[in-house]
Chain A
Amino acid sequence: MQEVALESAINSIRVRFGSQALTRAAELPPPQPWPSGSPLDRLTGIGGIPRGRLSLFTGAGTSGKLTLALELLARATREFAHAVVIDGGGFDLSSLDSFSPEQGPLTIVRAPAPETAGEATAMLARAGARFLLVMSDVPEHWLGPIESGANRSGTVLVGVVESPGRALAHASSFSVAFARTEWIWERGLLVGLRVAVRCTKNRVAPPLGETELEVRYPLGPRTLRDFSAGVVEASPRDIAEVRPRASAAV
């Protein structure tokens, strides 16, 4: 009897709010990875950034999260027909140049308000933009449509924020926290930074882990060495080596 009532409630929710509003766990498809070629692939546990899910890069300023996101964006422009940045005001196109992006597939949506950013993200996720880099606040009521849209189209959705709100943190399937551990100086010049990257939430695979990255700044034509902007894994630590801690996955 209870099962019938439950089934009826589920059906009425689907009729009222759409078929995507409620999905049974058994009906969920397994997350598909987008191999990004970055050290994050290992942290996700599925060999790539999850498609159709929100991945969140968090951390204080100058912790390398945007650099890593830009590297993913540049790679997306080389692989996909559309890579879109939802810019709340902090995106500088020249910062992307050193990652050798393809300009053709790149589109920047300049959202004057979080509401616009939310609507644009939902619309593009639903339409099937393959890669969306969200650098803006998104109102809570847009997170549902964004999630369901991306889920249907398999969009790779990456959000970059300093400290996520509760709703955004809850909506993400994969969150990594960036923390700068030290600056890198060479021959008296600041050439980059070392960053500890810790997976704080992982809904797509069991492992939570951390690694350390070396973020190198571009130095222009007069480089002391053959520097190029980029992110490399400085001293990769195996996920198994990381001391187990309380799970942050929801």
Chain B
Amino acid sequence: MALRQAEHLCPQAVFVLPDEEAVIRIRELLSTALYDLAPTVEVRDEGIAWLDLDGVVHPGEAIREMRRRLLKAIGREPRLGLAPGPFSARLAASSARPGRLMRVEDARVFLAPHPSRALPLEVEQLERLDLLGLRTLGAVAAIGPRELESQLGREGRHAVLLARGLEPDAISAWRPPMFTSAHRQFGEPVEDREALLFVARALCGDLAEELGLRGAGAKHLRVRLGFEASEGEQRESVVRHPLSSQAELFGLVGAWIKEWQPRAAITELWIELPVLEGAGRRQLRLWAGSDGSSDEVIAALERLQERFGDEVVWKPA
């Protein structure tokens, strides 16, 4: 419903406009949380997420993990639906109880009793359907696509295909941005190095968790300090070997902060990872139990050379 229409219908109501930034942030949060569970993941602003489970080896595990992660991210049990396509899956999920999964084998049979108002049509088009006596999806599915197209235009044809469970729409995959950052604003300006290290460690933990979900590593690291009255200071470095764990990130960030001499009390701290390396380039602990951490050891030796000079590390061979 348009805002103007709502105000007309209810003049006493206070209308709160959506916080666009918060919506985007929550969508990114959910997308990041679900990104590695399936090849295609889509999260919509209205709080719906789809996973295309085609090709997923253990779909049951992916669904369980999705439930767990969503619960952690939003703090509420999600409703889950498993169906042949996104439209029927959405309706299945809306019919499920919180924390439960509704599984649909035959989409057409499942959709038939649902009201036609579930179709993604304009209000006028839905009223038209009502006038035509097409009050359920079963009724919409029973008429020919061309017949409804002649009444509602292209959306009418689309609506019939949806009602028949033919799922004409595909999920549009979310692509993670190739950069990320974490930021903390302090209520009181911080002068204590220990406090700054504590916050930096927590931010590195958040970033590492995100990198872990995306299977990515940071090739470039930047730390910025903001001050109350003067221009901020920053330090950055391109690393030879991508950093992905909290220990790796905090190893570098912590070392910088320990020797940093800020000119004033700090009001804001940013840790930015402007360049990420794609997933699959680095598979740490692949040979778990033996020497799977070899990459990490080499990376640690390289970081020692970056910090203290090449001569610090010597390989006799």
Q: Kindly list chain A residues whose C-beta atoms are within 8 Å of the C-beta of B255.
A: 119
Decide yes or no: A16 and B316 within 8 Å by CB, A81-B294, A128-B296 being known contacts: no
Q: Is the CB of B316 within 8 A of A82?
A: no
Size of the B side of the interface (Cβ < 8 Å), in residues, is 26
Decide yes or no: A123 and B303 within 8 Å by CB, A16-B198, A82-B291 being known contacts: yes
Interface centre among A111, A116, A123 (most CB of B within 10 A): A123
How far in angstroms is the closest Cβ of chain B from A73? 12
Q: Is the CB of A109 within 8 A of B316?
A: no
In the docked arrangement, what's the CA distance between A110 and B315, Å? 11
Within 8 A of B (CB), among A124-171: 124, 126-130, 149, 153
Q: Kindly list chain B residues whose C-beta atoms are within 8 Å of the C-beta of A116.
A: 308, 312
Decide yes or no: A124 and B300 within 8 Å by CB, A106-B315, A106-B316 being known contacts: yes
Other-chain residue from B300, B312, B314 in contact with A127 (beta carbon distance below 8 A): B300
B181 touches A (CB below 8 Å): no
Other-chain residue from A81, A110, A123 in contact with B251 (beta carbon distance below 8 A): A123
A103 touches B (CB below 8 Å): yes
Q: Is the CB of B297 within 8 A of A128?
A: yes
A107 touches B (CB below 8 Å): yes
Q: Is the CB of A128 within 8 A of B293?
A: yes
A10 touches B (CB below 8 Å): no
Q: Kindly list chain B residues whose C-beta atoms are within 8 Å of the C-beta of A120.
A: 304, 312
In the docked arrangement, what's the CA distance between A123 and B297, Å? 8
Within 8 A of B (CB), among A91-132: 93, 103-104, 106-112, 116, 119-120, 123-124, 126-130
Specify the chain A residue showing the minimal Cβ separation from B246: A18
Q: Kindly list chain B residues whose C-beta atoms are within 8 Å of the C-beta of A183.
A: none
Other-chain residue from B251, B299, B314 in contact with A108 (beta carbon distance below 8 A): B314
In the docked arrangement, what's the CA distance between A127 and B314, Å? 18
In the docked arrangement, what's the CA distance between A80 and B292, Å? 11
13 A-B pairs besides A107-B314, A110-B311 with CB distance below 8 A are A80-B291, A81-B294, A81-B297, A106-B316, A108-B315, A109-B313, A109-B314, A110-B313, A123-B251, A126-B251, A128-B292, A128-B297, A149-B247
Instruction: Give me 20 A-to-B residue pairs in the complex whose CB atoms sit less than 8 angstroms apart, sorted by A's number.
Output: A80-B291, A84-B297, A103-B316, A104-B317, A106-B315, A107-B313, A107-B315, A108-B314, A109-B313, A109-B314, A112-B308, A112-B312, A119-B307, A120-B312, A123-B303, A124-B301, A126-B251, A128-B296, A128-B297, A153-B293
The 9 tightest CB contacts between A and B, nearest first, are A128-B293, A81-B291, A127-B300, A103-B317, A127-B296, A123-B300, A82-B297, A108-B314, A81-B294
Binding site for A on B (CB under 8 A): 198, 201, 247, 251, 255, 290-294, 296-297, 299-301, 303-304, 307-308, 311-317
